[in-house]
Amino acid sequence: MKNFKFLFGLALFSLFISCKQEEKNTEYFNSNETGIKIGGVKMITIETPKGKFKVWTKRYGNNPKIKLLLLNGGPGMSHEYFECMESFLPKEGIEFIYYDQLGTGFSDNPNDTTMWDLPRYVEEVEQVRVALNLNKDNFYLLGHSWGGILGMQYALKYQQNMKGLIVSNMMASCPKYGEYSKVLEKQMNPDVLKTIKELEAKKDYSNPKYMELLMANFYNQHILRKPVNQWPEPVNRAFSRLNSSLYITMQGPSELGISGKLTNWDVSKELKNITIPTLVVGAKYDTMDPEYMKWMASQFPKGTYLYCANGSHMSLYDDQQTYMNGLIGFLKK
Nearest to residue 171, comparing CAs of 238, 257, 93?
257
Other CB atoms within 10 A of residue 99 CB:
27
Which amino acid is located at 53 in the chain?
F
Q: Which among 156, 135, 154 has a CA at the least distance from the CA of 143?
A: 154
Mean pLDDT across the chain: 92
| Band of pLDDT at residue 5, cut at 50, 70 and 90 | low
Q: What percent of the chain has pLDDT over 70?
A: 92
* Helical pair 118-131 and 146-158, crossing angle rounded to 10 deg: 70
- pLDDT of 17 reads 47
The Cα–Cα gap between 251 and 76 comes to: 10
Q: How confident is the model at residue 96 (pLDDT cuts 50, 70, 90)?
A: very high
Please, are residues 59 and 109 in contact by the beta-carbon 8 Å criterion?
no
The model's pLDDT over 227-282, given as tens digits with 9 standing for 90+, comes to 999 999 999 999 999 999 999 999 998 878 788 999 999 999 999 999 999 999 99
Q: In this predicted structure, what is the pLDDT of residue 50?
A: 95
21 has a pLDDT exceeding 90: no
> Is residue 291 within 8 Å of 266, Cβ to Cβ?
no
Terminal C-alpha separation, the chain: 44
Q: Which residues touch 328 (CB under 8 Å, ≥6 apart)?
A: 88, 89, 92, 94
C-alpha to C-alpha distance for 62 and 273, rounded to whole angstroms? 31
Does the pLDDT value for residue 289 go beyond 50? yes
Say if residue 26's pLDDT is above 90. Answer: no
Query: Above 90 in pLDDT, residue 225?
Result: yes
pLDDT above 70 for 24? no
Position 233 scores a pLDDT of 98
**What confidence score (pLDDT) does residue 15 get?**
47
> Looking at residue 166, what is its pLDDT?
98
Q: Answer yes or no: are the C-beta atoms of 300 and 274 closer than 8 Å.
A: yes
pLDDT at 172 over 50: yes
Q: What pLDDT, on a 0 to 100 scale, did the predictor assign at position 34?
A: 82
Residues 213/192, Cβ–Cβ less than 8 Å:
yes
pLDDT of residue 254: 82
Q: How confident is the model at residue 184 (pLDDT cuts 50, 70, 90)?
A: very high
Determine the Cα angle at 160 with ends 158 and 166, to 5°.
70
On the question of pLDDT at 201 being above 70, the answer is: yes
Q: Which residues pair with 290 in a beta bridge?
A: none
> Mean per-residue pLDDT for 4-24?
50
- Residues 308, 323 contacting (CB under 8 angstroms): yes
The torsion defined by the Cα of 200, 201, 205 and 210, in degrees rounded to 10, comes to: -50
- The residue with greater pLDDT, 171 or 6, is 171
Instruction: Supply the pLDDT for residue 18.
Output: 47
Model pLDDT, residue 284: 98
Hey, which residues are catalytic here? 145, 286, 313
**Confidence check: pLDDT of 99 > 60:** yes
How many residues would you count in the chain? 333
